[in-house]
Homo-oligomer: A and B are copies of this chain.
């Protein structure tokens, strides 16, 4: 079955970006092994789901000229925008329904949940995330955008593997079967 996966890096104190969305602190620990790891992961997914603020940041700042996730099926959660563009499909479906729909449409690769606390909370709420790949940076950031929002549903995971890519720790968890 096509898994729903989280693949993201956070500081030791749980932030995925600075308050202004900057991720410069990630570049400080970038390495070839991390890039290879990402490439391998990227081949295991064919669908991405992100929030509208992540989408906006990508098209306005990070990669204005070329769509980041070319060749992947892309969903953007938005309460205000709907429809389909060349690169993405806007959605406001209940996350559980969206996943059911994606899985029913065709057989395929895994589904990547991209972004911060808003979108993560949406998918944790119904325990929809099957695999968690959480990278921990050797940095205490002090403030920023958290990966997990205060008040997020308590969730017990199952540790599958732990390793490191130079200074980056890679934690692999799977959903605990209830």
Bits for A140-157, please: 1 = Cβ < 8 Å to B, else 0: 111100111011111111
How many A residues, CB 8 Å from partner? 35
Report how far A162 CA is from B161 CA in the complex, Å. Answer: 11
Q: Which of A12, A163, A164, A169 counts the most B-chain CB atoms under 10 A from its CB?
A: A12
Tell whether, in the assembled complex, residue B140 and residue A158 are in contact, meaning their CB atoms are under 8 Å apart: no
Which stretch in A39-47, A73-81, A93-101, A131-139 binds the other chain?
A: A131-139
Within 8 Å CB of A168, what residues of B? 159
Q: Which of A134, A140, A148 counts the most B-chain CB atoms under 10 A from its CB?
A: A140
Q: Is A51's CB within 8 Å of the partner chain B? A: no
Tell whether, in the assembled complex, residue A164 and residue B155 are in contact, meaning their CB atoms are under 8 Å apart: no
Q: Is A88's CB within 8 Å of the partner chain B? A: no
Report how far A139 CA is from B136 CA in the complex, Å. Answer: 15
Which residues of A are interface residues toward B (Cβ below 8 A)?
Answer: 12-14, 28, 124, 134, 136, 138-143, 146-148, 150-159, 162-164, 166-169, 171, 173
A sample of 16 more A-B contacts (CB under 8 A), given A142-B154, A143-B151, A169-B171, is A12-B134, A12-B148, A13-B14, A13-B152, A136-B171, A138-B156, A138-B158, A138-B159, A139-B156, A140-B152, A140-B155, A142-B150, A142-B155, A158-B167, A162-B164, A162-B169
